[in-house]
Amino acid sequence: MINPRKIAYVTLLGRSEWALVNTYYAVVSRNRKPRKVFIFTEEVYRKKLPKVVEAIKVISQAYNFNPEIETVVIPNNSFLEADKKFKELFQRLAEEGYTIGLDITSGRKALATAAVVQIRDFPVDRIIYMALLDMDFPDRPYMMIPKHMQRLKNFLGDGNVVEL
C-alpha cells in the first residue's frame, strides 16, 4: 500500500547543478519533504555530486527535515544500465510503500528516458521539470531568479504549469 507521507525524490544530475538544486528547492518550498533522495548521474558528472549532495542537505535542513541521500553513477550514455538501475530502485521503493517523485530537469537524455520508461509500473505521482524562461539566470540560486522566469511543471498533473 502506498503511503503519501513516505515520499522518495529521484533526481537526475546533468550539466547544470543549479537546475537540479533549484528544482529541489522549488519542490521542497511547496511543502514536499521526501524521506529519501536519490541522485542519478553519469560518470562524466561524478565530480559534481559532493556539491549537489551538500546543497540538498542544506536546503532540507532549512525546511526542518533530513532525508537519506543516495547517489548512483551510471556509465556515460548507458541507457541499458540506467534502465536496470531505475527498475531496481523503483521496485524497492514500491515494496517499501513509497510514493515517487521524479525530477528530470537537469538529466541527460539517456537517464531521463530510462527513468520515464520505468515509471509505468510504479507509484510515481510526479514527473517534474522546471523551465528557466530567461537564460540570463542559469547559474544563480533559486531565490535570486525572478519567480516569473521559472515554470515548474508536473507532467503527471492536470496539465497546468505550477506557478512558483
Provide the pairing of β-strand 150-154 with 124-132: antiparallel
Share of the chain above pLDDT 70, in %: 82
* Residue 87 to residue 16: CA distance in whole angstroms: 25
Residue 108 confidence (pLDDT) above 80 = yes
State residue 110's pLDDT score: 84
Residue 23 confidence (pLDDT) above 80 = yes
pLDDT tens-digit readout, 24-79: 999 999 889 999 999 999 999 999 999 999 999 999 999 999 999 999 999 998 98
State residue 164's pLDDT score: 38
What is the grid cell recorded at 79? 541507457
Residue 20 confidence (pLDDT) above 50 = yes
* Residue 152 to residue 164: CA distance in whole angstroms: 7
Helix and strand counts by DSSP (H, E) for the chain: 4, 7
Residues 127 and 156: beta-carbon distance below 8 Å = yes
Q: Which CATH class is domain 7-154?
A: alpha beta
Residues 27 and 150: beta-carbon distance below 8 Å = no
Average pLDDT, the chain: 86
CB contact burial 51-83 (16+ within 10 A = b; e otherwise): ebbebbeebbeeeeeebebeebbbeeebeebbb
State residue 145's pLDDT score: 56
Q: What's the distance, CA 79 to chain centroid?
A: 18
What is the grid cell recorded at 3? 503511503
pTM: 0.88
Q: Which amino acid is at 39?
A: I
